[in-house]
Amino acid sequence: MVSLSTWFRYIAHKFEYSVALSWKNYKRGQITDREVGDAVWKNLLQGRLSYLHWNKGEEMTPTVGGGTLLVRKLPATDPAHVFVGDVVVLKDPENPESYIVRRVAAIEGYEMVSTDANDEPFVLEKDECWILADNDKLKPKEANDSRKFGPVPMTDVVGRVMYCLRTAVDHGPVKNSPYGMRKDMPVLMVELDVDELAKNHKA
């Protein structure tokens, strides 16, 4: 049973996302200024704040591995919405047509220092983030993360992973940053449907 306060927080998140999405579509010229209000209400009443994503590969083992993920749509991909420690879905820097799942290890303003003494330290620039695989058994090139291709634009992030179903009996919330988990809790409580995850799961 979802509490009334959780529903209010959920509706507030939906309103924020609806406004952000409608404004983005307006700036792209996809809707007119007269259609903005209608678009906000349509997204608020009909849209969902999550979608399903199938993850394959061992880069994020043991966090997700191969599994069906419930991903939170974000109103913006900036330091106010994406935090260090979050597991995110983002465009693959080496293949923009596909998506990968990695953990945000650093964001703009962080100084990056290499274990290799020959590499110069550097600071992540505005709207950049550093992403890493969770599987520490993989070598950097195998992990296919920022150690291989460097910083990535935060605009490449498309959502935060809230829940993972690996098998019908092995599923649960994904450990993100405390900020991310707190923001996502109302969405998770309202939109999580384990039966739907299991039905769409690829064995």
In angstroms, rounded to a whole number, what is the distance separating the alpha carbons of residues 142 and 106?
20
Instruction: State how far the alpha carbon of 120 is from the alpha carbons of 84, 111, 129, 142, 145, in Å.
Output: 22, 11, 18, 23, 19
Question: Which among 170, 175, 160 is positioned nearest to 129, based on CA atoms?
Answer: 160
Which residues have C-beta within 8 Å of that of residue 91, sequence separation ≥ 6? 98, 99, 100, 156, 158
- Which of 59, 128, 166, 191 is an active site residue? 59
Question: Is the bond preceding 75 in cis, omega lying within 30 degrees of 0?
Answer: no
59 given a catalytic annotation: yes
Instruction: Name the H helices within 81-169.
Output: 140-143, 146-149
Three-state secondary-structure class, residue 6 = helix
Burial of 125 from C-beta contacts in 10 A (0-12 / 13-18 / 19+):
exposed
Question: Active site residue: 9, 72, 102, 160, which one?
Answer: 102
Contact by Cβ (8 Å): 100, 144 = yes
Active site residue 28: no
DSSP category for residue 85: T
Q: Which residues are catalytically annotated?
A: 59, 102
